[in-house]
């Protein structure tokens, strides 16, 4: 089907009197995947930018936690060879990705709740692209909050030990990790169905972030908890980002090479996408 | 006649224990507005969502403009526009941005999307507010924008799910005018409503559904002739006047279509009448003669409840179940529109 100027009904029937309008008011056969992704992403970003409470609150929240860890808990935690602030900031940036992801779950649930998804799903567009748009936009927004937390990290005394290339790699890795986790939050939002329930569900990020190497060295955890902490994505990611940020995994008390940790982190990210993207899609497509 | 715009046979859909659609048959010809009328929980929303490809029925067949919805939902989506009772527009974007988004998703070029958005904004009298964020819109404006979003794709079939529920009377009239203008331009419309007057006002054909089935259909006049006689309604001041009122009205049997009904709870007596004005005058006269102390007496159109009572012998929505859409996990659960 092609977009035509006069054939408004798309079935060859004459244009009814009055349905006129300029510039080819044609129904169109539906947007392709790229346009759909871009349009939905554009909408998500606009919504974020025009909801200052979201930006301000999430920034304040991030700063507050960072200060608490740096100055309240920081004195009581020993991170081995490096100052606690250098140990903690990479972990904090990584977990920041998860905390801003909570907005994704709530936003998706809200779209579902308020009928916005119904409208989108009634349009002739690939449904995969509708979700992809959301995921892409939220990854972009995550990157923004990553930059903010990193900046605050420097303000409270974080000293960066790696090369510029490693810094870029660390940042990129966080964005990849964010993209992977966004799919988990999209799933949560779709399953929860209401923004409130989605908020509640996304509390799951607390055990995930705290039972990891993000804030404390894993060997200080109770023995039974250590295997759990070792084998989960937040630890994998923290170890990789920390190795890059300190310029040396050994400084972070890690025995492997930086490449080793980066590869593991990427594998985890790929695994998360492979698990949650199809789940989200199945849930979204299911026309019940 | 052409292929019907909607052709549903034996549609069934269950949500858990609730049969939202229970063998619904409906054929809507093109070139007219069809109103699906029914109480909450009758299956109206489920039906519209099924036509909009958002719900897959458990059984039955459904064709939209000859296209099998189960086989080619993508083709159906190209020719429908959906506007719901929850005003699904993005509050953080302007009216214009909202319409452009939908137009672009219909596959229109940037230029066409811009032009069509502008045309629809004009058409719906929203041009002045076009560049304000929707957050600042009134409920009625949001509804009109929602309607507009369903129009930028120049749909062949417009689906309106309770388009005026929750609107104030003035916004309601504005929306009616907008819908009528569209119909004049040749768009086919399927709308659901709980209001008899809305169906009467907008539709050439009314389908009454209850418990997921069609229980009556016809033109507004046909249905009114069958079910919807005008009603004289009397509120009395003292409860002990109720019986005397009923007795006095019974003496007007020649003008009445049925026996008077007494509702002690609301101190109200109603009687369906054949010749409204004559009956009203007569009623005032006999009640005055009987020295009944009246709070209020009026001649009014039958309510949906009364139509149901006549058609089914049971009050509307006698089933205590809530709207079955509530059991649909993907259904919207928004608060009442502002």
DSSP state letters, B203-255: -SEEEEEETTEEEEEE-HHHHHHHT--EEEEEEESSGGGHHHHHHHHHTTTTT
Residue B199 · residue B206 · CB < 8 Å: yes
Residue B171 · residue B140 · CB < 8 Å: yes
Residue B236 has pLDDT above 90, yes or no: no
Residues constituting chain A? 288
User: A165-200 pLDDT, tens per residue?
Assistant: 888 999 999 999 999 999 999 999 999 988 899 988
Angle subtended at Cα B184 by Cα B179 and Cα B188, rounded to the nearest 5 degrees: 70
Q: How confident is the model at residue B323 (pLDDT cuts 50, 70, 90)?
A: very low
Ranking A86-95, A245-254, B43-52, B321-330 by mean pLDDT, the lowest is B321-330
Tell me which residue has tokens 């025995």.
A255
User: Given this model, what pLDDT does residue B332 score?
Assistant: 38
C-alpha span between B81 and B122 (Å, rounded): 18
Residue B205: closest CA among B194, B195, B187, B191 = B191
Copy the structure tokens of residue A252.
């972070």
User: Given this model, what pLDDT does residue B312 score?
Assistant: 67
Q: Where is pLDDT greater, at B246 or A40?
A: A40
A37-70 residues labelled b (16+ CB within 10 A) or e (exposed)? bbbbbbbbbbbbebbeebbeebbeebbebbeebb
Burial class (CB in 10 A: 0-12, 13-18, 19+), A125: buried
User: Given this model, what pLDDT does residue B243 score?
Assistant: 80
Helix, strand, coil distribution of chain A in percent, nearest 5: 70, 0, 30
Average of per-residue pLDDT across B132-159: 91
DSSP state letters, B161-200: ESTTTT--HHHHHHHHHHHHHHHHTT-EEEEEES-HHHHH
Q: How confident is the model at residue B305 (pLDDT cuts 50, 70, 90)?
A: low
The secondary element (H helix, E strand) that includes residue B294 is strand B294-300
Q: Which of B54, B116, B187 lies closest to A25 in CB terms?
A: B116
Residue B317 has pLDDT above 60, yes or no: no
A113: closest chain B residue by CA = B332
Pairing of strands B213-218, B294-300: unpaired
Q: How confident is the model at residue B257 (pLDDT cuts 50, 70, 90)?
A: low
Burial class (CB in 10 A: 0-12, 13-18, 19+), B161: buried
The yes/no answer to whether this complex scores an ipTM above 0.95 is no
Interface A:B, Cβ pairs < 8 A = 167
> A39 and B156: CB-CB below 8 Å?
no
Residue A234 · residue A212 · CB < 8 Å: yes
Residue B11 · residue B56 · CB < 8 Å: no
User: Given this model, what pLDDT does residue A173 score?
Assistant: 93
Copy the structure tokens of residue B20.
């939202």
Residue B331 has pLDDT above 60, yes or no: no
Q: How confident is the model at residue B97 (pLDDT cuts 50, 70, 90)?
A: very high
Residue B267 · residue B242 · CB < 8 Å: yes
| CA A79 to chain centroid | 28
Measured N-to-C along each axis, helices A164-192 and A233-246 cross at an angle, to the nearest 10 degrees, of 160
Residue B141: closest CA among B81, B87, B199 = B87
Average of per-residue pLDDT across B158-168: 87
DSSP state letters, A136-159: HHHHHHHHHHHHHHHHHHHHTT--
Q: How confident is the model at residue B191 (pLDDT cuts 50, 70, 90)?
A: very high
> A21 and B119: CB-CB below 8 Å?
yes
Burial class (CB in 10 A: 0-12, 13-18, 19+), B67: middle
CB-CB neighbors (< 8 A) of B74 in chain A: 30, 124
User: Given this model, what pLDDT does residue A8 score?
Assistant: 35
C-alpha span between A152 and A59 (Å, rounded): 10
Residue B116: closest CA among B134, B128, B98, B99 = B99
Q: What is the mean pLDDT of chain B?
A: 83
Tell me which residue has tokens 């994998």.
A236
> A28 and B92: CB-CB below 8 Å?
no
User: B118-135 pLDDT, tens per residue?
Assistant: 999 998 889 999 999 999
Which of B46, B82, B124, B330 is the mutation pick for testing A, counting most A CBs within 10 A?
Answer: B330
User: Given this model, what pLDDT does residue A27 score?
Assistant: 54
Coil vs helix vs strand at B63: strand
User: Given this model, what pLDDT does residue B1 score?
Assistant: 54
> A27 and B79: CB-CB below 8 Å?
yes
Q: How close does chain B come to A39, measured CA to CA in Å? A: 6
Q: Which of B104, B155, B330 lies closest to A31 in CB terms?
A: B104
> B186 and A19: CB-CB below 8 Å?
yes
Residues above pLDDT 70, as percent of chain B: 87
Pairing of strands B230-236, B268-273: antiparallel
Q: Where is pLDDT greater, at B188 or B252?
A: B188
Q: Where is pLDDT greater, at B252 or A53?
A: A53
Copy the structure tokens of residue A118.
């119904």
Residue B137 has pLDDT above 90, yes or no: yes
Residue A139: closest CA among A91, A95, A172, A90 = A172
Q: In what order do the strands lie in the sheet with B268-273?
A: B261-263, B268-273, B230-236, B294-300
**Interchain CB contact of A27 with B (< 8 Å):** yes
Residue A130: closest CA among A149, A153, A156, A112 = A112
Q: What are phi and psi for residue B285, nearest 5 degrees?
A: -65, -50
CB-CB neighbors (< 8 A) of A8 in chain B: 154
Residue B295 · residue B236 · CB < 8 Å: yes
**Interchain CB contact of A193 with B (< 8 Å):** yes
Hey, how many other C-beta atoms are within 10 angstroms of the C-beta on B239?
A: 10
> A121 and B54: CB-CB below 8 Å?
yes
Which segments of chain A have a pLDDT < 70? 1-28, 287-288
CB-CB neighbors (< 8 A) of B97 in chain A: 43, 46
C-alpha span between A153 and A147 (Å, rounded): 10
Q: How close does chain A come to B88, measured CA to CA in Å? A: 5
Phi-psi region of B205 (alpha: psi -120 to 50; beta: other; left: phi over 0): beta
> B54 and A288: CB-CB below 8 Å?
yes
Q: Where is pLDDT greater, at B236 or B254?
A: B236
User: Given this model, what pLDDT does residue A180 score?
Assistant: 94
Residue B18 has pLDDT above 50, yes or no: yes
Q: Which of A1, A51, A122 lies closest to B92 in CB terms?
A: A51
Copy the structure tokens of residue A94.
């990584």
| CA B129 to chain centroid | 27
User: Given this model, what pLDDT does residue A28 score?
Assistant: 64
> B53 and A122: CB-CB below 8 Å?
yes
The secondary element (H helix, E strand) that includes residue B262 is strand B261-263
C-alpha span between A39 and A131 (Å, rounded): 11
Hey, how many other C-beta atoms are within 10 angstroms of the C-beta on B74?
A: 15
Q: Which of B54, B107, B332 lies closest to A29 in CB terms?
A: B107
C-alpha span between B274 and B282 (Å, rounded): 13
């Amino acid at each position: 089907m092609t977009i035509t100027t006069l054939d408004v009904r798309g079935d060859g029937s004459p244009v009814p009197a009055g349905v006129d309008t300029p510039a080819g008011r044609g129904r169109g056969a539906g947007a392709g995947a790229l346009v759909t992704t871009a349009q939905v992403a554009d909408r998500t970003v606009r919504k974020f930018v025009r909801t200052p409470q979201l930006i301000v609150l999430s920034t304040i929240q991030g700063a507050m936690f960072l200060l608490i860890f740096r100055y309240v808990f920081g004195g009581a935690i020993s991170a081995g060879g490096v100052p606690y602030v250098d140990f903690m900031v990479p972990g904090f940036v990584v977990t920041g990705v998860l905390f801003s992801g909570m907005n994704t779950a709530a936003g998706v649930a809200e779209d579902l709740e308020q009928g916005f998804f119904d409208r989108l799903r009634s349009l002739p567009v690939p449904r995969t692209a509708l979700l992809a748009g959301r995921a892409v936009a939220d990854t972009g927004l995550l990157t923004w909050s990553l930059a903010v937390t990193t900046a605050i990290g420097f303000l409270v005394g974080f000293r960066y030990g790696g090369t510029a290339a490693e810094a870029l790699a660390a940042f990129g890795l966080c964005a990849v990790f964010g993209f992977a986790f966004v799919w988990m939050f999209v799933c949560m939002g779709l399953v929860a169905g209401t923004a409130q329930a989605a908020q509640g569900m996304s509390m799951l990020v607390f055990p995930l972030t705290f039972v990891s190497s993000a804030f404390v060295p894993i060997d200080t955890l109770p023995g039974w908890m250590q295997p759990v902490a070792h084998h989960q994505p937040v630890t994998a990611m923290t170890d990789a980002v920390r190795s890059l940020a300190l310029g040396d995994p050994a400084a972070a008390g890690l025995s492997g090479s930086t490449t080793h940790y980066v590869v593991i982190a990427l594998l985890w990210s790929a695994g998360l996408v492979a698990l949650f993207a199809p789940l989200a899609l199945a849930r979204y497509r299911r026309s019940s | 006649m052409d292929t019907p715009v909607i052709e549903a046979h034996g549609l069934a859909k269950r949500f858990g224990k609730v049969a939202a659609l229970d063998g619904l048959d409906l054929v809507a010809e093109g070139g007219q507005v069809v109103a699906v009328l029914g109480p909450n929980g009758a299956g109206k929303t489920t039906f519209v969502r099924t036509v909009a490809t958002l719900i897959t029925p458990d059984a039955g067949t459904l064709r939209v403009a000859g296209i099998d919805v189960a086989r080619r939902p993508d083709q159906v989506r190209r020719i429908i526009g959906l506007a719901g009772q929850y005003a699904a527009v993005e509050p953080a974007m302007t009216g214009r941005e909202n319409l452009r988004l939908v137009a672009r998703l219909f596959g229109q070029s940037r230029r066409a999307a811009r032009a069509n958005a502008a045309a629809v904004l004009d058409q719906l009298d929203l041009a002045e507010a076009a560049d304000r964020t929707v957050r600042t819109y009134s409920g009625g404006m949001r509804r009109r924008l929602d309607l507009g979003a369903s129009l930028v794709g120049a749909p062949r079939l417009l689906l309106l799910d309770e388009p005026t529920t929750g609107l104030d009377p003035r916004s309601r009239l504005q929306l009616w005018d907008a819908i009528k203008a569209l119909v004049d331009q040749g768009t086919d419309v399927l709308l659901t409503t709980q209001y008899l007057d809305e169906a009467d006002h907008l539709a050439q054909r009314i389908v009454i559904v209850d418990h997921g089935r069609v229980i009556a259909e016809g033109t507004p006049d046909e249905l009114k002739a069958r079910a919807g006689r005008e009603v004289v309604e009397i509120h009395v001041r003292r409860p002990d006047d109720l019986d005397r009122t009923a007795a006095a009205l019974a003496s007007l049997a020649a003008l009445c279509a049925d026996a008077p009904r007494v509702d002690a709870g609301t101190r109200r007596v109603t009687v369906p009448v054949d010749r409204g004005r004559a009956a009203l005058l007569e009623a005032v006269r006999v009640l005055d003669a009987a020295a009944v102390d009246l709070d209020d007496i009026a001649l009014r159109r039958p309510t949906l409840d009364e139509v149901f009572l006549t058609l089914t012998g049971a009050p509307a929505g006698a089933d205590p179940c809530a709207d079955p859409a509530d059991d649909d996990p993907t259904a919207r659960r928004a608060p009442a529109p502002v």
